[in-house]
Structure 1
Amino acid sequence: MADVFVGRLMSSPVRTVSAETPIQEAARKMSENGIGSVIVVGDGNELEGILTATDFVRLGADGRSAAETPVSEYMSTDIVTTAANDDIRDVADLMIDHGFHHVPVVDETEGVVGIVTTTDLTAYLSHVEAPSPE
């Protein structure tokens, strides 16, 4: 993965919701798009949080209604981000060290521009040509 930058592997456009979106609507968006997370953004596309499939376990355990509960009550807000020009090795190490499956890609002026997932990394690695055994 020498000299591979986040922008090359990130998924874009990102599926987003607002903090006020009912969790049921966010779940529908995730299901329809075959994704494991949605990014929560404000009016200016600034990152406010992330809601992942794991958060639905907490919702179920709490017995809350997905139709009536806003995303803001279950989203993670302490988020590690990356930039499109960051080295993918650093992001992969970060994901492994912290057990992250999703890392939002942000730009200072544009806000959220993409996301790097373990699926993105796996897809890239599956196409990298492995050295032949001698």
Structure 2
Amino acid sequence: MDDIFVGRLMSTTLYTVPPDTLVEEAAQKMLSSDVGSVLVVDGDNQLEGILTTTDFVKVVAERRPKDETPVDTYMSADVITATVQDSIRDAADVMLEHGFHHLPVVDDTEGVIGMLSSTDLASYLSHVQTPSPS
């Protein structure tokens, strides 16, 4: 697994929103796209945060008017990221250590270029041929 890199497994279909997007609109985008997160990016595609299904627990608990609250109120702003050159073992370790299900993949010049999810890792592992125990 050390020789398999994030760039091989990440999804390049990204679901992004600007920071002033209302949480209700972000939630509708997540539901209609059947994804567990949206990346919050600026006009230059630079990552500003991530909003996940877990963040919506806080939205509901605080009972703010969902249709009037921007995503930057609830997004995680100190986002831990990966690059395409990171090994999937390192990425998986980061995800386990922090309890993440989503790890944005960034490039210094292009900004956000992909997303690695726990589903991507599980899908990869389910297809790896391993020797049977003797």
Structure 2 CA distance, aligned partners of 1:92 and 1:99? Answer: 10
Deviation at 1:2, TM superposition (A): 3.4
Runs of 5+ consecutive residues of structure 1 not aligned to the other structure:
none
Q: Which amino acid aligns with 1:43?
A: G
What whole-Å deviation, never above 9, does each CA across 1:77-125 have from its counterpart, x for those lacking one? 0111110111111010111111111111000110000011111101111
Question: 2:121 maps to which residue?
Answer: 121
Corresponding residue SS for 1:67: helix
Partner of 1:25: 25
Gaps of 5+ in 2: none
Work out the CA distance in 1 between the residues paired with 2:87 and 2:32.
Answer: 31
* Paired residues, number: 134
In structure 1, how many angstroms separate the alpha carbons of the residues matched to 2:131 and 2:27?
Answer: 41
Equivalent position of 2:109 in the other structure: 109
| SS at structure 1 position matched to 2:44 | coil
**TM-score, normalization by structure 2:** 0.97
For residues 98 and 22 of structure 1, what CA distance do their matches in structure 2 show?
A: 27
**Partner SS for 2:11:** coil
Question: Does 2:24 align with 1:9?
Answer: no
Matching residue of 1:79: 79
Identity over aligned pairs, percent:
57
* Partner in structure 2 of residue 43 of structure 1: 43
| Cross-structure match for 2:91 | 91
Separation (CA, whole Å) in 2 of partners of 1:100 and 1:16: 18
Q: Helix, strand or coil: the match of 1:51?
A: strand
CA shift for structure 1 position 64: 1.1
Deviation at 1:5, TM superposition (A): 0.4
When the two structures are superposed, what TM-score results if normalisation uses the length of structure 1?
A: 0.97
Instruction: Output the CA distance in 1 between the equivalents of 2:12 and 2:115.
Output: 7
For residues 133 and 53 of structure 1, the distance between their equivalents in structure 2, rounded to whole angstroms, comes to: 39
